[in-house]
Amino acid sequence: MDLSLMAAPLASFALVVGLLTLTPGLDTALILRTAALGRRRQAWGVVLGIQTGTMIWGTASAAGLSVLLTASRAAYETLRWAGVCYLLWMGVQMFRNRHQEALPESEEGDNPGGWWAGWRRGTLTNLLNPKVGVFYVAVLPPFIPAGVAHLPAGVLLTSVHVIEGTLWSAVLIGFAHTLRNWLRRPAARRMLDRVTGIAVLGFGVKLALTD
């Protein structure tokens, strides 16, 4: 692959996905909520899980696999309703668990809901959102110049999205960590879980109502 042909598309794509990354959404809510409760390892698990899902969607789009989502109504609807069920379940769990105390960071390594749980949640949240696949199907092709192999170019472009998303997530985790003393209060933790739970439920309902 001639990298000189990808210089301009990379810069343009970085601007587009950079603006998308800065837009608050479900990913932002999950990262802030997890990090603010003092679970930094789990928060980084969520971040890496989200970026794993992004890389899978981008690679699948470059390989032509996720075109099935736009070509097959049944495939899209199956994935969409799986995502709806998962988001609603996750939102309800946040309401049910809002009374639980956050573990100190030094104890987090022994927490069964640590890094692996965060990675699993981030990956599933991303992969069960068919809009991410449709986004890549629609946005990726215009940034791949003629004569350039789609798969390596798509992976390269997706890597830019992953890098920007990881850097912005680091900022979010650092910001959330500054709120940790305030969040030691039970009332503050309950409010955070309610707000995040409402946001997650809202995304689930929005996905259910979106055609």
Q: How far is CA 67 from the centre of its chain?
A: 21
What pLDDT score does 183 carry?
64
Q: What's the whole-number mean pLDDT along residues 9-24?
A: 89
pLDDT digits (tens, 9 = 90+) for 95-139: 776 545 444 444 444 354 688 999 999 999 999 888 888 888 778
CB of 47 closer than 8 Å to CB of 41: no
Q: From residue 133, how far is each of 4, 36, 46, 65, 169 by CA, in Å?
A: 27, 29, 19, 10, 21
Mean pLDDT for the stretch of residues 179-201? 73
pLDDT beyond 50 at 91:
yes
Look at residue 157 and tell me whether its pLDDT is greater than 90. Answer: yes
Rounded Cα distance, 54 and 159, in Å: 9
Nearest-angstrom CA–CA distance, 126 and 56: 10
Q: What is the pLDDT of residue 103?
A: 42
Contact yes or no for 79/128 (Cβ under 8 A): yes
Torsion of Cα atoms, 103 then 39 then 95 then 190, to 10°: 70
pLDDT confidence of residue 66: 67
- pLDDT for res 107: 40
Parent domain of 155: 3-209
**How does pLDDT run across 30-64, given as a tens digit for each residue?**
898 888 877 889 999 999 999 999 999 999 888 88
Into how many domains does the chain fold? Answer: 1
Cβ(34)–Cβ(47) below 8 Å: no
CA-CA-CA-CA torsion sign (104, 197, 98, 116): negative
Provide the token pair at 149. Answer: 């192999």
Q: How many helices (H) and strands (E) would you count in the chain?
A: 9, 0
Higher pLDDT, 106 or 162: 162
